[in-house]
Structure 1
Amino acid sequence: MSATSQKTVLITGTSSGIGLAAAVAAARAGWRTVATLRDPSRADALRKAAAEAGVELDIRQLDVTDEASVAAAVDGVIADHGRLDAVVNNAGAGHVGTLENESLAEIREVMEVNFFGVVNVSKAVMPHLRATGGRLITVTSVGGVIGQPFNEAYCAAKFAVEGYMESLAPVARTVGVAVSVVEPGAVATEFVNNLGIDLEGAINAAGPYSGALRQYVNRTVAQFTDGAQTPAGAAEAVLGAMTAEQPAFRIQTSDWARAFVATKLTDADGSAVQSLTSAWVS
């Protein structure tokens, strides 16, 4: 396969977790893989994983919240490799908080990274995906389907991503681009690491919500510690969306995620979801 005909994928947020695992899996499957991350100094784990897998990655800087950074990265990939066949929007950040205890600026920041970052990258790559009949894949979350306590801003961003992509999908299909969202549940190590906060301090500062937040944190940390899927397992679903002849629009990464999402999709009046999530905080 020539340098210009080898399929090329660009993946955002590859410093750890699903993004790292997806980059390695794509390269192992024969894709030229452009693995991007906001801070290149955090690429050591990515390089180590690639070396252990015996694959090569094209590692580049890309900040999804910076239009100039996105444009430079995409233009560089096209200049160097000539094509884009798939793009995986994976970059994002976890967030825990509730309405009374966080500022509008904090809520806007969550939306900026998790929603507008996805739109920013998707807009930049669509012309190139049209040229190849490519795939636009976005890693969302089961939190993009079911709203979860103390995740108001995070789930709002993920709901927005799902709504945007669900609306875009039939339009993109008319120009040959397949759009999919990949919905992981709990993935090992990501919850606490990605929050970047002192959980105990946050609980103590939560005022009237301290008891409920402690209940939520205890339940969620246990889920991410004991019942979580591996990043490699979730990455298999991403690779499937890249390679399936006709990928589904909505793809869960585990049986647990499928069952969880199904609760919402069959819950016309919302009572089943409210009963489920209320138990997390009471």
Structure 2
Amino acid sequence: MSSHSSHSPQSSRTVSQAPSHSKVVLITGTSSGIGLAAAVAAGQAGWRVVATLRNPGRADALSTAAAEAGVELDVRRLDVVDEASVAAAIDGVIADYGRLDAVINNAGAGHLGTLENESVADVREVMEVNFFGVLHVSKAALPHLRAAGGRLITVTSVGGVVGQPFNEAYCAAKFAVEGFMESLAPVAARVGVKVSVVEPGAVATEFVNNLGVDLEAEVAAAGPYADTLQAYLDRTVAQFLGSNVQTPAEAAEAVIEALEADRPAFRIQTSDWARGFTGTKLSDLDGSAVLGLTGEWVG
């Protein structure tokens, strides 16, 4: 099962006159979580923030957080899987502000499942949101980022480095994004665009809430994988309640680092735990360390 964590009615945007020198950042998936926190933090850092989401009717939490922080956001509709919606949003930013200095690809969809128990269409849907959605936005923005000497930042996941049980489609999409951006980065650098990926680990509230599924029903329907899935869920839910979990605001600090640093790294983890976890993979030449670790998660 999968669900969009952020992304059909028209936007309810309000454009105020920003100083002409204000840099403009467009952020996708800002209805909750890291996207919401990054939008507020970027506004506090002095950026003109175009905060986008698939359904502007879900902007209440974003608007409340912005008001509490004393920042003004320009909230607009953008559905990352709809190329016309992407084009309209990017064109609108250029029409209103004359520039686009940074894009933060944050919109995505959670997913839980394993290959035998789901359809290839299910997997394709996850790829559409988490991979091709990023490409739609990045492609539309690149000419403007190139003109501005700007930044292209994508929130991926530690699941973009380490494959994880029952996250096959999700990790495949995040692996694809990381490989694409790692390949694009030196090319984009030649035309003045800095490319980074930000890799969060466990972030409070997001795992269960964003899946939008009945976990007990998922286990009951898992057939020969039921015990394995239950073991995975027990471990993972405990992790999302444990000491390694971050708040969205804490994770968003790494996004702002990529946005503000003079020379941002390509790959930025959001916590010491995330650095250790991804480091297991990045130094694991034969794959045994990763499979030894994740094999323990499923009993």
TM-score, normalization: structure 1? 0.99
The CA distance in 2 between the partners of 1:161 and 1:256, in whole Å, is: 21
- Residue 230 of structure 1, aligned match among 233, 247, 251: 247
Structure 2: 5+ residue stretches without partners: 1-16
Deviation at 1:196, TM superposition (A): 1.0
Q: How does 1:131-210 map to 2 (within 5 A)?
A: 131-210=147-226
Q: Aligned letter for 2:221?
A: A
**SS across alignment from 2:251:** helix
Deviation at 1:3, TM superposition (A): 3.1
Match of 1:276 in 2: 293
**SS across alignment from 1:179:** strand
| Per-residue CA distance 1:95-129 (angstroms, 9 max, x = gap) | 01001000011000000000000000000000000
Query: Is 1:255–2:267 an aligned residue pair?
Result: no
| Per-residue CA distance 1:224-265 (angstroms, 9 max, x = gap) | 122311100110000010010000000000000000000001
**SS across alignment from 1:226:** coil
Contact (CA 8 Å) 1:91, 1:114: kept in 2 or not?
yes
Query: Is 1:244–2:244 an aligned residue pair?
Result: no
Q: Aligned letter for 1:234?
A: A
| Per-residue CA distance 1:18-42 (angstroms, 9 max, x = gap) | 0000000000110000000001110
Contact (CA 8 Å) 2:156, 2:200: kept in 1 or not?
yes
Q: Aligned letter for 1:70?
A: V
Q: Aligned letter for 1:277?
A: T
Contact (CA 8 Å) 1:4, 1:83: kept in 2 or not?
no
Query: Is 1:45–2:57 an aligned residue pair?
Result: no
TM-score, normalization: structure 2? 0.93
Deviation at 1:2, TM superposition (A): 6.6
Match of 2:12 in 1: none
Match of 1:69 in 2: 85
Deviation at 1:160, TM superposition (A): 0.1
Structure 1: 5+ residue stretches without partners: none
**SS across alignment from 2:154:** strand
- CA-atom RMSD, angstroms? 0.9
Contact (CA 8 Å) 1:3, 1:81: kept in 2 or not?
no
Query: Is 1:7–2:44 an aligned residue pair?
Result: no
The CA distance in 1 between the partners of 2:260 and 2:133, in whole Å, is: 24
Contact (CA 8 Å) 1:135, 1:242: kept in 2 or not?
yes
Deviation at 1:4, TM superposition (A): 3.0
The CA distance in 2 between the partners of 1:46 and 1:6, in whole Å, is: 21
Deviation at 1:222, TM superposition (A): 1.0
The CA distance in 1 between the partners of 2:239 and 2:76, in whole Å, is: 33
Identity %: 76
Q: Aligned letter for 1:164?
A: F
